[in-house]
Amino acid sequence: MAQLWGGRFTKETEKAVYDFNASISFDKRLFHEDVNGSLAHVTMLAKQGILTVEEKDSIVAGLESILKDVDDGKLLIDHRYEDVHSFVEANLIDRIGDAGKKLHTGRSRNDQVALDMRLYARNQVCVTDQLLRELLEVILHTMEENRDTYMPGFTHLQKAQPVTLAHHYGAYFEMFKRDRQRMQDIYERMNYCPLGAGALAGTTYPLDRDCVASLLGFAGPTLNSMDSVSDRDYLLEFLAAMATIMMHLSRFSEEIIIWNSNEYQFVEIDDAYSTGSSIMPQKKNPDIAELVRGKTGRVYGALMSLLTTMKGIPLAYNKDMQEDKEMAFDAMDTCASCLKLFTGMLSTMKFRKDRMAVSAMKGFTNATDLADYLVAKEVPFRDAHGIVGRIVLHCIDQGISIEEMPLKDLRTFCDRFDKDVYQAISLETCVEKRNTVGGPGLIAMENEIKACRAYLNDRPAMKAPELTR
Catalytic choice (25, 141, 261, 277): 277
Query: Is residue 31 close enough to count as binding ligand ARG by CB under 6 A?
Result: no
Query: Is residue 29 close enough to count as binding ligand ARG by CB under 6 A?
Result: no
Among 81, 150, 317, 364, which residue sits at the site for ligand ARG (rule: CB under 6 A)? 317
Query: Is residue 322 close enough to count as binding ligand ARG by CB under 6 A?
Result: yes
> What is the DSSP code (8-state) at residue 2?
B
Q: Are the CB atoms for 133 and 166 separated by under 8 Å? A: no
Q: Are the CB atoms for 26 and 181 separated by under 8 Å? A: no
Provide, rounded to whole angstroms, the least separation between the CB of residue 13 and ligand ARG.
13
User: Helices 442-458 and 165-190, interaxial angle, to 10°?
Assistant: 30
Tell me the window of 209-217, 261-269, 317-325, 365-373 that interacts with ligand ARG (CB under 6 A).
317-325
Provide, rounded to whole angstroms, the least separation between the CB of residue 324 and ligand ARG.
7
Catalytic choice (156, 274, 278, 305): 156
156 is catalytic: yes
426 is catalytic: no
Nearer residue to ligand ARG within complex by CB, 171 or 200: 200
Contacts by 323-328, CB closer than 8 A, 24 or more apart: 324/117, 324/232, 324/235, 325/23, 325/26, 325/27, 325/29, 325/117, 326/26, 327/301, 327/302, 328/121, 328/235, 328/238, 328/239, 328/302
Nearer residue to ligand ARG within complex by CB, 20 or 281: 20
Within residues 90-129, the interface with ligand ARG by CB under 6 A covers 109-110, 113
Provide, rounded to whole angstroms, the least separation between the CB of residue 317 and ligand ARG.
6
Provide, rounded to whole angstroms, the least separation between the CB of residue 4 and ligand ARG.
9
Compute the half-sphere exposure of residue 464: CA atoms within 13 Å on the CB side of its CA: 22
Nearer residue to ligand ARG within complex by CB, 21 or 265: 21
Tell me the window of 67-75, 319-327, 349-357, 455-463 that interacts with ligand ARG (CB under 6 A).
319-327
Among 33, 83, 111, 237, which residue sits at the site for ligand ARG (rule: CB under 6 A)? 83
| Nearest CA among 273, 310, 271, 313 for reference residue 289 | 273
Check residue 13 and give left, alpha or beta (phi > 0: left; psi -120 to 50: alpha): beta
Provide, rounded to whole angstroms, the least separation between the CB of residue 24 and ligand ARG.
8
Cis peptide before 316 (omega within 30 of 0): yes
User: Helices 53-71 and 31-47, interaxial angle, to 10°?
Assistant: 170
Nearer residue to ligand ARG within complex by CB, 26 or 154: 26
Q: How far apart are CA 143 and CA 452, in angstroms?
A: 10
Nearer residue to ligand ARG within complex by CB, 27 or 448: 27
Residue of closest CB approach to ligand ARG: 322
Q: How far apart are CA 374 and CA 159, in angstroms?
A: 22
Tell me the window of 67-75, 241-249, 318-326, 406-414 that interacts with ligand ARG (CB under 6 A).
318-326
Nearer residue to ligand ARG within complex by CB, 26 or 455: 26
Tell me the window of 290-298, 315-323, 398-406, 420-428 that interacts with ligand ARG (CB under 6 A).
315-323
HEC letters along 298-323: HHHHHHHHHHHHHCCCCCCCCHHHHH
Q: Which residues contact 185 (CB under 8 A, 6 or more apart)?
A: 237
Residue type, 148: D
Element (H or E) spanning 246, and its range?
Answer: helix 233-259
Query: Is residue 318 close enough to count as binding ligand ARG by CB under 6 A?
Result: no
**Partners of 159 in the beta sheet?**
154
Q: Are the CB atoms for 427 and 366 separated by under 8 Å? A: yes
- Counting residues that bind ligand ARG (by CB under 6 A) gives 10
Provide, rounded to whole angstroms, the least separation between the CB of residue 23 and ligand ARG.
4
Within residues 214-253, the interface with ligand ARG by CB under 6 A covers none
Among 66, 70, 267, 321, which residue sits at the site for ligand ARG (rule: CB under 6 A)? 321
DSSP string, 164-192: EHHHHHHHHHHHHHHHHHHHHHHHHHH-E
Residues labelled catalytic: 156, 277
Residues that bind ligand ARG (CB under 6 A): 23, 27, 83, 109-110, 113, 317, 319, 321-322
